[in-house]
Structure 1
Amino acid sequence: MHSSRLCALLIDCHVSDVDQAARFWADALGREIDSDHPGTRGNYRMLATPPDEPIVQIQRVEHESRVHIDIETDDIPAEVARLEGLGAHVVDRLERWVVMQAPTGQRFCVVRVQRPGFPKNATRWD
C-alpha cells in the first residue's frame, strides 16, 4: 500500500531570465517569490504557498514552455506502477523523480513527498 496526492504545479519557461518569468507569474497569481525556500536555486523559483495548496514553482527549461503537475508519493516505484497500469508510460527515471507521460499526451512527474502534512488529502492505494 502507498499514498499519493497532487503536489505541485510547475510552470516550465523556455526563457533566458527565470527571475523575470517568476516575477510575471508571482504577479499573475498574487503570490510572492519565496527567495528563502530551499527550492529557489539555479533554474528554479518557488512562489509562496498558502497552507493546504499545491506548490507553484517556476523553472527555466530548454524544451517548449508548458505547465505540468507533480504527484507526490511515499513510494515512487509503486506509484509509477499504478500509473503505468492506467496507461501512462515512463519517459525518464532521474535520481529523485520519474518523468511520465499520460495516455493523453501530457508529461508529469512522480516525486517523493514534498509538502508538509502528508498524507493529509492523499489517496491510499492498495
Structure 2
Amino acid sequence: MDCRTEDLGDALAFWSAALGQPGAVDPDGKYAVMQGAGNEPRVLLQAVAHESRVHLDIETDDIAAEVARMERLGARTVDARPRWTVMEAPTGHRFCVVGPQRAGLQANGTLWDDG
C-alpha cells in the first residue's frame, strides 16, 4: 500500500493492528513489511509523495515478457525502471511488474502459455 506519510512507523502501527499482522519498517524508513500466516499474502507499505493508494506487485523472473503479456491483455506501461515497470490496467488500477521478491517463485509461480 502506498502511504503518503512522513512516518511509515505510524502507518505500520495502524495497518498491523487492523490486519493482525506483525511487521517492521526497513532501516531507510521507505518500506514496511507485514507477513500473514502460511500462504497469506504479504502486505508491504511504501512511503510515497503522491496520494495514498493500493497497488499490486506482480513477481516474475522475466519482467520484459510479463510486461508484454500484460500489454496484450490491455494494460499500458506508465513508467519503465531498471528493476520494475509501473503499469495501468484497463480498469485504471496501477500495478508493478517486479523481479522475484521472495523464495519459491520457481516452485509456486504460474507458467503462462501464450501460444
TM-score relative to the length of structure 1? 0.81
Residues 1:93 and 2:93 are matched in the alignment = no
State whether residues 89 and 100 of structure 1, in contact with CA within 8 Å, keep that contact through their aligned partners in structure 2. yes
1:40, distance to aligned residue in structure 2 (A): 5.7
Query: Is 1:56 matched with 2:43?
Result: yes
Determine whether 1:26 maps to 2:16: yes
* Ranges of 4+ aligned residues in structure 1 off by more than 6 Å: none
What is the identity percentage for the equivalent residue pairs of Structure 1 and Structure 2? 53
Q: What's the RMSD between the two structures over aligned residues? A: 1.6
Number of matched pairs: 113
More strand by share: 1
Q: Which has the higher helix share?
A: 2
Indicate the structure whose relative CO is greater, using CA pairs within 8 Å and at least 6 residues apart: 1
Q: Which residue of 1 aligns with 2:93?
A: 106
5+ residue gaps, structure 1, are 1-10
Once the two structures are TM-superposed, the CA of residue 72 in structure 1 deviates from its matched residue by 0.3
Instruction: Tell me the TM-score normalised to structure 2 length.
Output: 0.88
> Would the aligned equivalents of 2:35 and 2:41 in 1 still touch at CA under 8 Å?
no
Cα displacement (A) at 1:48: 2.8
